[in-house]
Chain A
Amino acid sequence: MILQHVADGILSGAVVALGAIGLSFTMKMLRFANFSHSELLTWGAYSALVFVAFFSSFGGFLDRTIGPFSFGASLLLAMPCACIATSMVALLLHRFVFERLSRMAGHMTMVFASFGVALTLRHLVVLIWGSDPIYYSRELQFAILLPGNVRVMPDQVFLLGLTVVVVIALHLFMSRSRAGISMRGVAENPDLARASGVNVDRIVTWVWVIGASGAAIGGVLYGMTVQLRPELGFSLILPLFAAAILGGTGSLYGAVLGGLIVGLSENLSVMVIPTTYKPAVPFLLILAILYFRPEGIFGERSR
């Protein structure tokens, strides 16, 4: 029983981690709490729906499922397309809302604006795709029985595998590429980065693209293993903030670890509190971390 909760916790934690990476970066580098970040997961998931339909329409192998999974090559192709589409949404928001506000107003104004943006994005999804749950595929799949009587679906194994791949790729990007190193430099000291010749606007574009792509992948994986609902992202606002704050903003590993902690505590909490109160768990984590270690696990203690 416990092991099943642990397995479920890791799986939901993986989705939270993918979303939290971008939130954590924007909180650190753009210096505002973006309440609309979670809507990027929703947009990623729903935009993939369009691409899946597009690729499936070619028929043949694109329309067939792969091995034990519920999805086919069309979804694999749809994922990078969803990343691009979601990045475009994020960059448009940056260009027309957040960047302008950051120049003319304080960062709290950006927080309100993100409220308005979140509301608009979420309800646009309802307008376009309706409010009923949608699935990428209705294919049946058979659970895999792991030792300890733990059941996982093949799709969930894929979810975990892809998350690991994404995190490793991001790790390499942040530690090896010049853009990644500059990004960490901007996170620590934007003025020094500027004076060293780093084009901060370009780095900010990278931040949005990485954040939106992580969110899109997280959204697709959530849609694949649970379902697509317009409130998909909204219900993840608190888990994402909890993960980003727990890990310490601006830290890749912090966001990943934070995501896992949030996923595990949510799923293990049902052993002690009624399931209906599960959504309050991330909030309690936020309060606890802000009280005991406000800079997060991986965050630098501010002077």
Chain B
Amino acid sequence: MTAPHVLQARNVIAGYAFDLPILHGVSVHVDAGEVVSIIGPNGSGKSTLVKAVAGLVRVSAGNVRLDGRDITGVAAHRLAAEGVGYVPQTGNVFATLTVRENLMIGGAPLAKAAALERIEEICDIYPILKERMHDRAGSLSGGQRQILAVARALLTRPRLMLLDEPTASLSPKAASELFSAVRGLARDGAAVLMVEQNAKAALRVSDRGLVLAEGRNRIEGPAADLLSDEGIGEIFLGFRRDAAKTEGAG
């Protein structure tokens, strides 16, 4: 029997209101050392999916497993302690707190000494944070904020990292730096699930991709295949604007 996936979500139905699900049965799995991108048009439920996995949106049916253990409905702060790191799309740092305080909150599930030690390690990976340690996070640049957000989530050494549009407001340079940081996470053994608006760039650093549409799995496969399939590119990834010619995606 093979080891269970780090993340396995099956037929997840979830939404903000009881009777108004946004996800209508989505399934996804991610293994250790793997980056999986979720792409799809606006409103397809990408963010809701990562929030549901992070425990911030109620899952009304289906189940979510972490290393084979059922974590459906477990409170978000418990999941953080269990090794799920989550970086939301907006408001991903505490702007009124200093960089150090942001990291301290990220270390909430750890013992204080362990958290302080881990902050040291993180600062060795991202020296910019050390420089700005006592500045308010609100004063950081967009790229620095994103790094802080990732660093905050990394404090607990998560086995599963959830990133919601990490490059949304970044310059191309900062975005490519961030993508290489994401690759680094996977190299260190984490499973990464990433939502991206910039599908092409995201697929280039991903192992696999999942296209969502209207809250359902639409297409999935190795990132390279999705990138090379012109039809998919046209319809879902916006590679070319004139989508009139080719018909039929999968």
Q: A184-B97, A185-B94 are in contact. Are A197 and B56 (CB under 8 A)?
A: no
Task: Flag if A178 contacts B97 (CB, 8 Å).
Answer: no
Residues of A within 8 Å of B107, CB to CB, are 197
Do residues B97 and A197 form an inter-chain contact, with CB atoms below 8 A?
no
Q: B105, A198: Cβ atoms under 8 Å?
A: yes
Question: What residues of A have a CB within 8 angstroms of the CB of B56 in the complex?
Answer: 191, 194-195
Q: Mask for B93-106, Cβ within 8 A of A = 1, else 0?
A: 11111000110111
- Asked if A184 and B101 make an inter-chain contact with CB atoms under 8 angstroms apart, the answer reads yes
0/1 interface trace, chain B 111-124, chain A, CB 8 Å (1 if under):
01001000000000
B contact residues around A196 at 8 Å (CB): 77, 80, 105-106, 108, 152-153
Whether A181 is near chain B, meaning CB under 8 Å from some CB there, is yes
The interface residues of chain A, by DSSP majority, are classed as helix
Number of A residues whose C-beta is below 8 Å from B? 18
B88 within 8 A of A: yes
Rounded to whole Å, the gap between the CB of B101 and the closest CB of chain A is 5
Q: Is A109 an interface residue (CB 8 A)?
A: no
Is B97 in contact with A181, judged by CB distance below 8 angstroms?
yes
Among A182, A185, A194, A195, find the residue whose CB has the most chain B CB atoms closer than 10 A.
A195
Could you tell me the distance in whole angstroms from the C-beta of B222 to the nearest C-beta in chain A?
30
* CB-contact partner of A188 in B86, B88, B97, under 8 A: B97
The reply to whether A195 and B88 form a contact with Cβ atoms under 8 Å apart is yes
In the assembly, what is the distance between CA of A184 and CA of B104, in Å?
Answer: 12
Contact A194 B105 (CB under 8 A): no
Asked if B27 is an interface residue, CB under 8 A from chain A, the answer is no
From 57 to 110 in chain B, residues with beta carbon under 8 angstroms from any chain A beta carbon are 75-77, 80-81, 86, 88, 91-97, 101-102, 104-109
B22 close to chain A: CB less than 8 A: no
Residue numbers in A under 8 Å from B8 (CB-CB): none
Complex Cα distance, B80 from A199, in Å, reads 10
Shortest Cβ distance from B109 into A: residue: A197
Q: Give the B interface residue count (CB, 8 A).
A: 30
Q: What is the distance, in angstroms, from B228's C-beta to the closest C-beta of chain A?
A: 35
A195-B76 contact given A181-B104, A182-B108, A189-B91, CB 8 Å threshold? yes
Query: Cβ of A193 and Cβ of B105 under 8 Å apart?
Result: yes
C-alpha gap A198/B79 in the complex (Å):
10
Are A197 and B104 touching (Cβ within 8 A)? no
Cβ of B54 within 8 Å of any chain A Cβ, yes or no, is: yes
Q: Which residue of A lies closest to B149 (CB)?
A: A192
A200 at the interface (CB under 8 A from B): yes
Output the least CB separation between B84 and chain A (Å). Answer: 8
Query: Complex Cα distance A192/B81, Å?
Result: 14
Q: Mark B122-164, 1 if CB is under 8 A from A, else 0.
A: 0000000000000000000000000000001100100000000
Cα distance A188–B95 in the bound complex, in angstroms: 8
CA distance A181 to B104 in the complex (A): 8
Nearest CB of chain B from residue A179's CB, rounded to whole Å: 10
Task: Say yes or no: B92 contacts A178, CB within 8 Å.
Answer: no
When distances are taken between beta carbons in the complex, the residues of chain A under 8 Å from B152 are 196
With both chains docked as a complex, state the minimum distance between the C-beta of A259 and any C-beta of chain B, in angstroms. Answer: 21
Q: Is the CB of A191 within 8 A of B88?
A: yes
Q: Which residue of B lies closest to A187 (CB)?
A: B96
In this complex, the member of B56, B80, B94 whose beta carbon has the largest number of chain A beta carbons within 10 angstroms is B94
Q: In the complex, what residues of A have CB within 8 A of residue B92's CB?
A: 192
Interface string of A167-194 (1 = CB under 8 A from B): 0000000000010011011001101111
**A191 vs B76: C-alpha distance when bound (angstroms):** 9
Q: How far is the CB of A155 from chain B (nearest CB, A)?
A: 37
Give Cα A192–Cα B101 distance, bound, in whole angstroms.
Answer: 13
Tell me which of B91, B102, B156 contacts A197 (CB under 8 A). B156
Of chain A, the residue at the smallest CB distance from B88 is A192
A182 touches B96 (CB 8 A): no
Contact call A192/B94, Cβ cutoff below 8 A? yes
CA distance in complex: A196, B109 (Å): 8
Q: How far is the CB of A174 from chain B (nearest CB, A)?
A: 10
**0/1 interface trace, chain A 191-222, chain B, CB 8 Å (1 if under):** 11111111110000000000000000000000
CA distance A200 to B96 in the complex (A): 18
Q: How far is the CA of A187 from the CA of B222 in the complex (A)?
A: 42
Chain B contacts for A192, CB-based, 8 A: 88, 91-94
Contact of A189 among B81, B86, B94 (CB under 8 A): B94
- What is the bound-complex CA distance between A191 and B75, given in angstroms? 11
Given contacts A191-B91, A195-B88, 11 further A-B contacts (CB under 8 A): A184-B97, A185-B97, A191-B76, A192-B88, A194-B55, A194-B56, A194-B76, A197-B77, A199-B108, A200-B77, A300-B95
B residues near A, CB below 8 A? Answer: 54-56, 75-77, 80-81, 86, 88, 91-97, 101-102, 104-109, 112, 115, 152-153, 156
Chain A residues within 8 Å of B, Cβ to Cβ: 178, 181-182, 184-185, 188-189, 191-200, 300
Q: List 15 A-B contacts (CB under 8 A).
A: A178-B112, A181-B105, A185-B101, A185-B105, A194-B75, A194-B77, A195-B55, A195-B77, A195-B88, A196-B77, A196-B108, A197-B77, A197-B105, A197-B156, A198-B108
